[in-house]
Amino acid sequence: MNHTLILPILLPAVVGALLVMAARYDKVLARAFSLASAVLLLGVAIALFVIASDDSVRTYALGAWPAPFGIVLVLDRLAALMLLLNAVLGLGVLLYAVGGWDMRGKHFHPLFQFQLMGINGAFLTGDFFNLFVFFEILLIASYGLMVHGGGGLRVKAGVQYVVTNLVGSSVFLIAVGLIYSVTGTLNMADLALKVPQVPAGDQALLQTGAVLLLLVFAVKAALVPLHFWLPGTYANAPGPVAALFAIMTKVGAYSIIRMYVLAFGADAGEAAWLAAPWLLPASLVTLVLGMTGVLAARSLGQMASFAVIGSMGMLLATVSVFTQQAIGAALYYLVHSTFAAGALFLIADLVAERRGVQRDRFVLAPRFAQGGLITAMFFVAAIGVTGMPPLSGFIGKLLILDGVRDSAHAAWFWTLILSTSLIAIVGFSRGGSLVFWKSHALLPAPASGHRPAAAPFVAVGALLACLVALTVFAGPAHAWLEGAAVQLFAPAGYIEAVMGTLQEVR
């Protein structure tokens, strides 16, 4: 048994507990522990990414209990990709936060570690009850991070966020109960074996549970009409927290891909591809609404929040085609959009910290310190988010357009993706011109005498460098991601790794 598989969960859990017990009042020690943990987590994620590249599916049975009776962690290409993505983003965000944000409230570093733990657990778990457990860990840690530093607007947005997700958690339990009542299992691999055997008389219960589960994942992914919580939450969250939240919507997307390809895919009988008819229209409307919100936004934070909604619409619309080519393109765009959104939220925070009472709102304000560098960073991030050449957003959209061309709804895809891209370009041009170009014509603000930390700029630069690397190595990256899609659509390997041979299971 390869014990490396449990480290992405165990490492942040242990470090988070140590921070609470031994370093809560020591700033230097807390930062040292937290950064060391993030670096080690990145090393573990890279190791697991390399291990998963041989196309084998590996499992870790907690307590040596065999599936489906015990808790099992599963590593395949998709899980390894998401772990690495979370580790890279987490380290970048933490590097930004130690520039001063982490000390504006209590317990930032323990909450940050527990957040990483919950996200990694959601990517590794092999049963959907423990997916619920890790969702709850995410909710608790993210609420603490959301209100970090205080403020009325932040607390109000945090309450809305928590209430929405608690309702989602209740629906999750109902969905789990319905599915368990007709299949007798919570293990994803075992569920893939049991779903085709569900008799016609129980199909209504099974499919109701599956649709409710899709509803829960749609809340996490901010799909219309369940997106309403995201703009206020992300726009009012502390900058580094909002940047980390860029991957939280991807947890919903990951769950949809995993569950509705593995358990409700081609071999699911009457429940085959159950999610597609619901997912496609909701995703396309989300795409349009998100990019329209970019045009109507009144601040950089709002604009970044609506860009996240729009990108999730594009991502999940591509996923709804449920073909290997479409999923491969969607995974490339998922990686790109996570880094682009994370960088954009951090840039918005850099601007807000330097413009005084105007913060990041789209109003004229005096020039601010490091304005040239921040303007250049915003320009690169905007190119990435809007999908303009030459960065990876452009490549991702080309892959998506190619991946959906054989779909019956290809005309809708092409029309909406191209038109919303134009809307996003106009929105970013409007916001950028007000905050950077026109404001630079005004006199500079008085110098504060405060020497800015270098770490936040390094963090933003690192995330933007990830976009450049994803562009330069687009060929190998897409080939690897296509391999992940192929593995997803061959679920026998996943099932056998978790359950043993099919003969033994039967």
pLDDT one-digit tens code per residue, 439-458: 655 555 555 445 567 899 99
pLDDT tens across 277-306, in order? 999 999 999 999 999 999 999 999 999 999
Question: What pLDDT score was predicted for residue 362?
Answer: 86
Q: How far is CA 176 from each of CA 128, 206, 400, rounded to the nearest angstrom?
A: 8, 10, 32
Question: Looking at residues 12-17, what average pLDDT do you find?
Answer: 96
pLDDT greater than 60 at residue 504: no
**Could you give the angle at the alpha carbon of 246 between the alpha carbons of 127 and 130, nearest 5°?**
15
Question: What pLDDT score was predicted for residue 444?
Answer: 59
Question: Looking at residues 147-161, what average pLDDT do you find?
Answer: 76
Question: What pLDDT score was predicted for residue 150?
Answer: 65
pLDDT greater than 50 at residue 371: yes
Question: Looking at residues 108-113, what average pLDDT do you find?
Answer: 94
Which segment, 99-103, 335-339, 370-374, 406-410, is predicted with the most confidence on average?
Answer: 335-339
**Could you give the angle at the alpha carbon of 432 between the alpha carbons of 428 and 437, nearest 5°?**
150
Question: What pLDDT score was predicted for residue 230?
Answer: 87
Helix, strand or coil for residue 68?
Answer: coil
pLDDT greater than 70 at residue 276: yes
pLDDT greater than 70 at residue 426: yes
Question: Looking at residues 341-362, what average pLDDT do you find?
Answer: 90
**Could you give the angle at the alpha carbon of 114 between the alpha carbons of 113 and 119, nearest 5°?**
100
> Do 451 and 298 meet the contact criterion of CB atoms below 8 Å apart?
no
Question: Looking at residues 193-201, what average pLDDT do you find?
Answer: 93
CA distance 264 to 260: 5
> Do 403 and 412 meet the contact criterion of CB atoms below 8 Å apart?
no
Question: Looking at residues 83-100, what average pLDDT do you find?
Answer: 95
DSSP state of 94: H
CA distance 465 to 302: 24
Question: Looking at residues 51-65, what average pLDDT do you find?
Answer: 91
* Tokens matching residue 202: 């129980």
pLDDT greater than 80 at residue 65: yes
pLDDT tens across 162-177, in order? 888 889 999 999 999 9
> Do 303 and 347 meet the contact criterion of CB atoms below 8 Å apart?
no
CA distance 133 to 143: 16
* Percentage of residues of the chain with pLDDT beyond 90: 73
> Do 380 and 465 meet the contact criterion of CB atoms below 8 Å apart?
no
Question: Looking at residues 217-221, what average pLDDT do you find?
Answer: 93
Within 8 A by CB and 6+ apart from 96, the residues are: 239, 240, 243, 346, 349, 455, 456, 459, 460
Q: Per mean pLDDT, which range of 22-36, 266-280, 312-326, 385-399 is the poorest? A: 22-36
Question: What pLDDT score was predicted for residue 99?
Answer: 85
Mean pLDDT of the chain: 91
Question: Looking at residues 473-499, what average pLDDT do you find?
Answer: 95
Question: What pLDDT score was predicted for residue 502?
Answer: 39
CA distance 165 to 161: 6
Cα-Cα-Cα-Cα dihedral sign, residues 95, 96, 101, 107: negative
Which residue blocks in 1-107 are alpha helix, DSSP H?
Answer: 7-22, 27-52, 77-97
> Do 458 and 91 meet the contact criterion of CB atoms below 8 Å apart?
no
> Do 2 and 58 meet the contact criterion of CB atoms below 8 Å apart?
yes
CA distance 277 to 15: 43
Nearest to 436 by CA among 380, 384, 360, 381: 360
Nearest to 381 by CA among 334, 428, 433: 428
* Tokens matching residue 479: 């080939």
* Percentage of residues of the chain with pLDDT beyond 70: 95
pLDDT band at 74 (very low <50, low <70, confident <90, very high): very high
Question: What pLDDT score was predicted for residue 377?
Answer: 96
Question: What pLDDT score was predicted for residue 384?
Answer: 95
pLDDT band at 137 (very low <50, low <70, confident <90, very high): very high
Nearest to 188 by CA among 255, 126, 131: 126
Helix, strand or coil for residue 359?
Answer: coil
DSSP H or E segment with residue 74:
strand 72-75
> Alpha-carbon dihedral of residues 412, 293, 280, 233, nearest 10 degrees?
170
pLDDT greater than 80 at residue 44: yes
Question: Looking at residues 139-157, what average pLDDT do you find?
Answer: 81
